[in-house]
Amino acid sequence: MVDACRLGGRLACVSELARLGVFVLEHVDLHLHVHEHAAQRKVAGRSVRRHWSRLRREPHPRSISVEAFDAVLQAVRCQPARAALATLDSALHLAVLRHDDLDELFRVLPRRHRVLRKLIDSRAESGPETLVRLMLRTLGATFDIQVDIPGVGRVDFVVDGWLIVECDSKAFHSSWDDQRRDRSRDQQAAARGYATYRPIAEDIMWSPEAVQTALAGLLQIGGRRRA
């Protein structure tokens, strides 16, 4: 935010959403909204991406960031389609974006983005969950989201009625206590006839082919078992 002020702009796009806790795939660059005639100043050691388009929500004159609606609008345009969908899910889940904003949002977005609307699911509690959901759709799997299993608790996905998929992140699964809790849950799930696959967030985001291949292999085993 300090760098945004130094450059005479407002924090925008994925930079502003990351500040708000909304999932974005990558936010190394500093994203700013600036006036079209603003000077091209630089920040040492940082790559800066400038957004010039007209804002849909006018920020307070003293605000040093764009409104959340405009940040989401910019981020959908700025990211690959899968990452954009994960951002939309996250923004809705956190109530940073309202469901009744979607009509305006997709009216303003280029037509190519409209396919994303039917894929939105604000039940996703993390960006990696959205990305795994898209993998499962691609594989043609039948799945439920955020399922409560007696004796186990709530799990991210139950696929084809037998495979639990949990998207593990460093924030909630890195300590030994976290690992013990997870293994206990997996053991309880196994006693009820479920197998569990736990891809880590890092692989889901940056090695998606490996995760999708693993899912495909597990689903193939499940298919043979049913046959």
Q: What is the mean pLDDT of residues 214-225?
A: 85
Tokens of 167: 């998207």
User: For 73-84, what is each residue's pLDDT tens digit?
Assistant: 999 999 999 999
Give the DSSP H/E element, type plus range, for residue 19. helix 13-19
Per the structure block, which two tokens stand in for 106? 């997709």
- Does 149 have pLDDT greater than 70? yes
Question: Which is higher by pLDDT, 40 or 21?
Answer: 21
Task: Find all residues with CB under 8 Å of 222, minimum gap 6, and list them.
Answer: 160, 162, 163
The DSSP letter of residue 168 is B
Q: What is the pLDDT of residue 168?
A: 82
Phi, psi at residue 147, to the nearest 5°? -100, 135
- The pLDDT value recorded for residue 177 is 79
Domains, the chain = 2-119 (no CATH), 127-226 (3.40.960.10)
Q: Is 69 helix (H, G, I), strand (E, B) or coil?
A: helix
- Give me the mean pLDDT over the 160-186 stretch: 82
CA 164/CA 156 separation, integer angstroms? 8
Instruction: Report long-range pairs for 142-151 (Cβ below 8 Å, ≥24 apart).
Output: 145/121, 149/189, 149/192, 149/194, 151/188, 151/191, 151/192
In this predicted structure, what is the pLDDT of residue 51?
A: 93
Q: What is the pLDDT of residues 83-140, one digit of tens each?
A: 999 999 999 999 999 999 999 999 999 999 999 999 999 999 999 999 999 999 999 9
Axis crossing angle, helix 127-138 with helix 208-226, rounded to the nearest 10? 50
Mean pLDDT score, 223-227: 62
Q: Is the pLDDT reported for residue 31 higher than 70?
A: yes
- Say how far apart CA 195 and CA 182 lie, in whole Å: 13
More confident residue, 131 or 35: 131
